[in-house]
């Protein structure tokens, strides 16, 4: 393909930016691939795999620096996986348009709050293990339902909920999110792999770029970025997703 090299560079940059805020890149990969002419199934499969690689790359770096809160992440992973089918069921039985608009408004408000709110990091206090686990289960269930209903990864909901509900320091919330995102990406990708809809000739070189981007982004975040900078970047991503949801609610593809 004539756009192979620019696309590989774009994959690196997307992974680089999004792993700094606790995401793997799937929010951008999938629509980008569709715009470039990929079949929807190929775009989704490639997006999930690259999301997995970028998130796993970043999570490995964060875990080595002891930035991943596993006691919070594991209950969240389990409850979100169990709740996702509920979201899928609701998707088939309710009118999606009003919900998409409401969710877009919620994301816009969350993005605005992350821009104007004072840093939570300085206020964060050690939380009882039982409360942390209970909070992780509740947040995971909510994320699972939202992800299943909207058909998007739950990572975009994880970071703000951890920061503002469980008072998790921004860097810990973003680092833990990359670990959590790995599992939803893996299960989704395996569904496509079982159907044989994988373009390995594209995915494998792209995975190298995604891995490198995840490494660069995670190392920069852990060493240089402050919590406020992470919240600003994440808020901009929320605004972009908000616009995407409104476009979808208005009949866009």
Residue 202 and residue 142 in contact, taking contact as beta carbons nearer than 8 Å: no
Q: In the numeric block, which tokens belong to residue 204?
A: 């494998």
Residue 209 belongs to what H/E stretch? helix 200-223
Task: Note the pTM of the prediction, 2 decimals.
Answer: 0.78
Residue 177 to residue 217: CA distance in whole angstroms? 14
pLDDT value at residue 58: 93
- pLDDT given for residue 154 in this prediction: 67
How distant, in Å, are the alpha carbons of 110, 227, 230 from that of 185? 24, 26, 22
- With vertex at residue 172, the alpha carbon angle to CA 73 and CA 110, rounded to the nearest 5 degrees, is 90
CB 239 within 8 A of CB 108: yes
Dihedral of CA atoms 12, 13, 15, 18 in degrees, nearest 10, equals 180
Neighbour count for residue 59 (Cβ, 10 Å): 26
Q: So what's the pLDDT on residue 85?
A: 77
Compute the distance between CA of residue 174 and CA of residue 160 in angstroms, rounded to an integer: 9
**Cβ-Cβ contacts under 8 Å for 207 (sequence gap 6 or more):** 49, 50, 53
Residues of the chain with pLDDT under 50: 1-2, 122-123
Residue 124 per-residue DSSP state: -
* C-alpha 216 chain-centroid distance: 17
71: CB partners within 8 A, 6+ apart: 129, 132, 133, 136
pLDDT of residue 1: 45
Beta carbons within 8 Å of 114's beta carbon, 6+ residues apart: 160, 163, 231, 232, 234, 235, 238
- Alpha carbons 27 and 44: distance in angstroms, whole number: 10
């Amino acid at each position: 393909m004539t756009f192979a090299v620019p696309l590989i560079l774009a994959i690196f940059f997307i992974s680089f930016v999004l792993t700094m805020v606790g995401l793997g890149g799937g929010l951008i990969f999938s629509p980008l691939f569709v715009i470039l002419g990929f079949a929807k199934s190929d775009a989704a499969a490639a997006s999930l795999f690259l999301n997995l690689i970028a998130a796993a790359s970043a999570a490995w770096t964060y875990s080595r620096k002891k930035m991943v809160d596993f006691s919070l992440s594991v209950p969240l992973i389990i409850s979100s996986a169990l709740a996702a089918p509920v979201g899928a069921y609701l998707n088939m039985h309710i009118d999606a348009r009003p919900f998409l608009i409401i969710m877009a408004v919620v994301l816009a408000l969350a993005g605005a709050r992350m821009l104007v709110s004072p840093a939570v990091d300085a206020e964060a206090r050690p939380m009882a293990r039982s409360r942390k686990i209970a909070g992780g289960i509740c947040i995971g269930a909510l994320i699972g339902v939202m992800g299943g209903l909207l058909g998007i990864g739950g990572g975009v909901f994880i970071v703000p909920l951890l920061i503002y509900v469980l008072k998790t320091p921004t860097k810990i919330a973003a680092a833990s999110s990359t670990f959590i995102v790995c599992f939803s990406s893996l299960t989704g990708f395996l569904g496509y792999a079982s159907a044989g809809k994988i373009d390995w000739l594209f995915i494998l070189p792209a995975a190298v770029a995604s891995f490198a981007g995840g490494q660069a982004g995670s190392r920069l975040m852990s060493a240089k970025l402050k919590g406020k900078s992470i919240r600003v970047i994440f808020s901009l991503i929320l605004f972009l997703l908000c616009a995407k949801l409104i476009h979808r609610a208005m009949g866009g593809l």
